Structures are given as C-alpha cells and as structure tokens.
Chains A and B, each alone.
Chain A
Amino acid sequence: MSMLFKLGWRNIWRNKRRSILTILAIAFATFLTVAFEGMTIGTWEYSVSNSVELFSGYLQIQKQGFQENPSLNKNFAFPGKVADCINNVPNIIGFAPRIQTDGLISFRDNSSGTAIIGIDPQAEVKLSRFQDRIRKGRMIRQDGLDEMVVGITLLKNLSAEIGDTVVLLAQGYDGVMGNQKFQVVGAMKFGTAEIDATMILLHYQAAQELLAMNGLVNIVVIGTQGLQMVENVHDTVQESLQRHGLNHLSILTWSEVMPELKQGMDLDKINHSIFMAILVIVVAFGVMNTVLMSITERFREFGITLALGMQSSGLVKLVLIETIFISLVGIAIGGIIGHCVNLYFYYHPILLGGNVGQLYEEYGFLPMIIPTIRLSVPFIATGLIFLLCCLASLYPLYRVQNLEPLKGIRHT
C-alpha cells in the first residue's frame, strides 16, 4: 500500500505540466467558491445587521401578544426580574428599555400624529443607530427628561426649530390624556418618508411620566455582537424567563419583530444560493473536464503499466491516490488564497457608488461588499470541491478499471 502512495506521489511530479494544470484548475475552482461564498454571506449579513441595528435591535422582549396588537396595556415591569434574566446571559452587549405608543404633537397652530418612542439614551448607544441619525441639534441627554428628538420632516411640518417647546399629547395607560411640554433638542433622518414625518424620541422615564406607566415599559431591546449569536441568545433568555416565572413575556428575534425584513432577506439569500449553484456547476464542469482529460491522456502509460503486470485494482487505487493528492494540494492552495482574499477585503471593503459621505447621509448605511472571514466558509468550500473532484474521477476510474492493456497502449 505504501508503495502505491510513493508511486502515486512520484507519478504526479513526473509530468509537471499536467499536474500543475490540474492543480490549477482545482485551486481556481476552490478559490472562486471561497471568495464567492465569503462575499455573499458577508455582504448579506452586513445588510441585515445594518437594518436591524437601525431600529429594532437584534432581540426584543415583549409581553405576549404585543407584536400583533401593540398597546400600552401590554407592559411589564423594568428593571425588575427581567433585568435579572438578561444580566448574566453571555454574548449580550447590552439591553435597554423602550416605550412605544402613538400621540399627538402640537406647536402653535400645527399639530401632527406621532409615533412616540421612549428610550434610554445611554443604553441605546450600543444597541441602535439613533445617535447616528441626528442631523440637527443633538440626541437627548441622559438627564434630559423634558427633551425630545423629532423626525426631520416632522420638524418641518410643524414649522418648528431646534430649541422650540412643543406639547405632546398621548393617551396613557389608564386612559387619561397625558400632556406635557418638551423642548426639541434634535432632529433625525432615517431616509424613510413616513418615519421622518412621525417619529419622536423621548427619555423613557419622561414617557413613563406622560403615560402614567411608572416602572413599566413595553419593550426591552437586546443587542448581540452579531447575527450569529441571535438564536443562541434567544434560547438562553427564553429559558431564563421561564425559570424566573415570567411566562407572560416572550423574547422575539429581529425576524419576528420585522418579518418583512426577514422576507426580503430570505429572498436575497435564495437568490444568492441560485447563483452559487450556477457557479458550482460551472466549476464542476471545469474540474471534471480537467480530471477526465488528465487521466485519459495517460491511457498509453496505463496500458503499459497493466501490460507489465500491475493488477487492474491496483491501478485504480493508484490513480485514485494520485487524484486525491492533486485535489488536496489544489483545494489547499485555492482555499488559502481565497481566504486571504476575503481577509483583505474584510479590512478594505469595496465601497459602492459615489461620494461616501453622501451615501451614509442618505441611506443610513454605507452600501458595500464585505466578506465574512469565518473559517467555516473556506472549510465548507474546500470540502465541496474535494467532493466534486472525487465524483469527477468516478467515470475516469471506471474507464481505467476496464482498460485493456493493448487498447490503452494504442490510445490517442
């Protein structure tokens, strides 16, 4: 057996040209697969992260039924037991309370319906991008209980300016019409018309006061380090909630909070998969052809080997060993180069479109292509190509097995 290995290895280097060509084909196929997969997964995740971080956060704790029918009645105590549940869960980078409801904002003769979001400014910094969306003025301060940030279109519609005092009206938890004055300290832009014309941010404690919800909130946002952690954290927190007896609360992932985003992303993912499949078909043919050719090219040599007395089975094993060696070298080279390319672009992503600053301002995030550098990508890709090589050699090996020495020698 070890003789076969030695023989195989030497055979490979006897004909450098052929071996190198075959290795190149395999390496190239692997490189492409690694780069492709890396780029598509990475860019997809980046896209999702951006959308998720913009507003909803990766996970949310809500009272059951809140998602279908949001209302102030569906609230729960905070910090309370909920904070205990979350505090020691690994992979969480922070959490923050929110209060969401509708209200009416009035300034002089103008009034407008609004979507009120009470937040904890400091805690939100790690979890969402509200801070980045400020275009005028500033975000509310940690002690700013009478401060408000409005959507930039809302500011315009009210004919108000930064520094003006407005009145906010909202029906509280107990049905009482809460009303309070706030000072507009900033205006934010999300890029979506409806949001910019209706959203306002308050300190959540101010919202609690306004809505007679002391000690209560209706959402707790949880942030994780990235998309991969979400499922894990979800399960841990869910279990923790149950353990603490908080059965009326549920934890939702971003895909449950924003099913439409999930839909769009799913569509994207499938699209990528289809493209990936096409790529694999193309490289598969490339690899198959190369392997087939490299083996049939040597039928004369094989014929002689058989004529010299080598067993058919031995020859098949030999060729198989050679193919495996070549494949391994090929995928190793291709995989490493592919991963290096991914690493490079990870640190120097490809920015799309013109003026970078303008893009950020307009769309809320930089559209760019950025690969993922998770090792699973090159490993899976190399595994896939290796499998392809083995499959590609099946037919040629079959031919080798049935080769008659004389036919082989006369092969052209």
Chain B
Amino acid sequence: MMILQIAWRNLWRNKRRSFIILTSIIVGVAATDWMDGLARGYTTQMLENQLGAHTAHLQIHAKGFNDNKTVQNFMRNSDSVMMAVKSKGQIKNYSRRIVTFGLLSSASNSSGISLVGIEPNQEQCVTTIHRNIVEGKYFTNTANEIVISRQMAKTLDVGLGDRLVAMASTQDGTVGSELFRITGIYQSPSLSFDKMYVYVPLQIMQQMLHVDDRIAEIAIIGKDIDSVEVMKKELSAKLGSTYEVLSYNDLLPSLVSQIELMNSLMYLFFVLIGTALIFGVINTFLMAVYERIREFGVLKSIGMKDVYLLIMIELEALLLGLIGSIIGTILGAGVVLIVGKVGLNLAIFSKGLTAFGSGAILYPRFDWFSIGIGAVIIIMICLLAAIYPARRAMKLQPMQAIMYV
C-alpha cells in the first residue's frame, strides 16, 4: 500500500500545515463533546432539582387528590395499589406518603406548611432532600422527629432539638396536633419549596390525623426517565378510574415547557457550532490543497494517475481526521468525565447563585453514543471536505500547476 505510505509521509513533510488542520479538528471534536456533556448535564440538573425534591417521576393518588389535598381524599385501599406498583418491572423505587396542609408553631411564631409524612428509608431512594441536610440528621427512626428547612427554622426562630407543634385537619373533622423535636434542617435550591415543606414520620402523622393506615400518595422513580409516560399509561389502566396516576409532566408543566425551550435552544446551538466547525475544516482543507497545487502538478507530470491523486488526498484527509478525532475525543470526553465527577460550580460566575446551593453545580454528562457519533462525523466531514479540493487538483494541467503562484 504504497499510496498509504505516501499519504502518511505527506502529512509529516509539512508539519505546520498538518498541525493547523489537526488543531481545527481536535478543537471541533472536543468542543462538540463539551457542549453535549454540558447540555445533557444542564437539563438533567434542572429536572433533578425539581423532581428530586418531591415530585419524583410519577405519583399515584386517589382521584381528585391533586386538586384538593384534603384528608378526605386520601387513598382508601392502598394495598391493591401497592401490589400493582410492586409488580411493575420498570419501577426502580417507590415511597408512600401523606401530604396535607397544616400549621407548624413554635413558641415564637407559626407558619402554614405542607406537612409530609414519610417512611425515611424508602423516601431516601426517591427524593434527594436527605442530601440537602445542612444541620443534624435526616431521620433516625426515633419518635417524633421532624425535619424542616433552614428558612422555616428562621421564621419560627428555632434550632436543632427545639420543640414544634404541628396541627392539621383530621379524618373526623377535628384538629389533630402533635409535638415534634427538630432532628434535621435542610436547604434545597428552591426557596419557595423550603418555605412550605416539612417532614415527619408517616406513622405519627397517620395517628395524628386518625387515618389508621391510609396514605395519600405513592411516589415512584422509574428505571428510565424516558419511559415514564409509558409506565403512567400501564399503571393507569391497571388501577382504574378511582385512582389518578400523574407523571412529572402533569405535575410540573411549567418546568417541562422550560426544559423544552432549553432543549430547542441547545439544538440551535449545536447546529450553529456544527456549521462553524464544518466550515472551518473545509476552509482549512481548501487552503491546504491550494498551497500544494505546484506539488500536485509535479506529481501529475511524473505520471501519477488522477484517481491516485484523489485517493492520496482523501487518505491524507482520512488520516488527519482519524488522528484529530481520536485526540479530540480524548480531550473532549476526558474533560467531560473529570468535570462530570467534580462538578462545575456555576456559582463562581454569579454571586446570586450561591444561595442556589447544590442546584448550581453542573455535572456534565457522558454519553458514549454522542461521543462516538461526534468522532465519526468529523472523520466523514474531513473526507467530504477534501473532495472538492481533490477534484480541483485532478483537473489541473500539470504545466499550469507547476507555474502556479
């Protein structure tokens, strides 16, 4: 394969030129990888911030509960629902909850809240509040523990270990109240969430509300976020019309539309940057070929067949593409992986975001498929980009070429 050898040596004969082309390719590939990683990381972050706080992928309630979160609308027979849930393969984790409007008061102040009764061991697998604990602990399964936000602690002027009384409307229409002691304080990225959500053990809340073993909702995390709608349909069909199965699309429509907007914008970016890249590569190849017209003229005049000229140029493009692509992918994917583990704290760019807490740390996400595709496409672009200049080379008259300035 002498022509391969020739092509290879051609590359290194003019280091400057090859280097310039390589950098275009490397930067192009790396940049696409970074963008892809960032884009994925960002939308995932946005979703996780919200879903992980409370919503999860799916929620099951008795019909009508979501519009009117009163005790009367709790699920009547949760066992059959639990059976349906447990039998679904795509469900990764689920947790049972009671959610109702209530009042929380300390000696200094009181505040309206969404009181959530949870089973901590299950809940940890479904939501991420336990990761946002800034003081104290999540739950240790001792009696009457309560977890509130830092904002709430400030409003009520309390700290770890202090006493709080929670009140809510019971099943029989009276007002139930219980004493709790603060075991943990959390801070989530969302201030409005923090102002409302308070957590207590499920059983205590069931006692307080006189609801025996009824629960209000089941929150579900599926194995794969993309199959949520399918899961919803299946569960809905199985459970019938006395229950409502709501996906995060139903529960957080404004978030979803925001993410769609983001995604579309990202897509636009990709198109623009991709175009920049392609153009850059083509341009560089063109220039490189024009630079070498004299050389091609000489080759033709010593008898090289046109088709070999084409193959030689294409091979050079292919080799450059391969090398550039590999180095670029290593650089691109490498950065994505490292920053993906460490996280890029966007708060360093904007003071206002420090209050956002963990929500401002961006974890670019690595996706084999995208990275692979990126590498391959660049190589193909190189091949394509070399065609036009190669054809021009082929059409040269040897004498014209040699005299070209």
Contacts and interface: CB of A to CB of B under 8 A. Distances in A.
A191 B254 CA distance: 7
**What is the interface of chain B mostly: helix, strand, loop, or mixed?**
helix
Contacts of A290: 283-284, 287
B387 interface: no
B245 to A, nearest CB: 16
A25 B280 contact: yes
A138 to B, nearest CB: 23
A263 B352 contact: yes
Contacts of A157: 67-68
**What is the interface of chain A mostly: helix, strand, loop, or mixed?**
helix
Interface string A281-321: 11101100110111011001100000000000000000000
Given A271-B38, A286-B280, 9 more contacts: A156-B68, A193-B67, A259-B191, A268-B262, A281-B31, A282-B276, A282-B280, A289-B23, A363-B253
Interface string B267-297: 0110011011101100110111011000100
B121 interface: no
B343 to A, nearest CB: 14
Contact of A193 (B66, B272, B275, B353): B66
Contacts of B224: none
Contacts of B288: 293
B291 A293 contact: yes
A260 B192 contact: yes
Interface in B319-376: 346, 349-350, 352-353, 355-356, 359-360, 362
A25 B405 contact: no
A353 B360 CA distance: 28
Interface of B: 14, 16-17, 20-21, 23-24, 27-28, 31, 34-35, 38, 42, 66-68, 101, 112, 189-192, 251, 253-254, 257-258, 260-262, 264-266, 268-269, 272-273, 275-277, 279-280, 283-284, 286-288, 290-291, 295, 346, 349-350, 352-353, 355-356, 359-360, 362, 405
Interface string A358-369: 010011100101
A259 B260 CA distance: 23
A39 B356 CA distance: 26
Contact of A289 (B20, B261, B346, B350): B20
A191 B253 contact: yes
Nearest to B69: A197
Contacts of A359: 257
B20 A293 contact: yes
Given A47-B261, A282-B277, A293-B17, A270 B350 contact: yes
Nearest to B43: A271
B273 A282 contact: yes
Contacts of A350: 264
A192 B27 CA distance: 43
Nearest to A158: B68
A297 B291 contact: yes
Chain B CB within 10 Å, residue with most, of A113, A260, A285: A285
A259 B353 CA distance: 10
A259 B253 CA distance: 20
Contacts of A267: 346, 353, 356, 359-360
Contacts of B14: 412
A34 B257 CA distance: 26
Given A263-B356, A364-B254, A281 B27 contact: yes
Interface string A186-203: 000001110001000000
Nearest to A365: B257
Given A266-B350, A352-B261, A285 B27 contact: yes
Interface stretch (A16-24, A58-66, A216-224, A235-243): A16-24
A352 B256 CA distance: 13
A128 B17 CA distance: 59
Contacts of B67: 153, 156-157, 193, 197
Interface stretch (A82-90, A169-177, A205-213, A272-280): A272-280
A279 B287 contact: no
A249 B346 CA distance: 34
A278 B20 contact: no
13 contacts: A21-B287, A28-B279, A32-B273, A43-B261, A191-B253, A263-B356, A274-B38, A289-B280, A290-B283, A353-B260, A363-B253, A363-B254, A367-B257
Sorting the interface of chain A by its residue count into under 10, 10 to 19, 20 to 34 or 35 or more gives: 35 or more
Contacts of B101: 113
Given A43-B261, A275-B38, A279-B273, A266 B287 contact: no
Contacts of B287: 18, 21, 290, 293-294, 297
Contacts of A24: 283
Nearest to B256: A363
A36 B272 contact: yes
A150 interface: no
B353 A263 contact: yes
B36 to A, nearest CB: 11
B24 A32 contact: no
B30 to A, nearest CB: 9
A46 to B, nearest CB: 9
A192 B252 CA distance: 7
A393 interface: no
A168 interface: no
A359 B360 CA distance: 29
Nearest to A196: B67
Contacts of A193: 66-67, 251
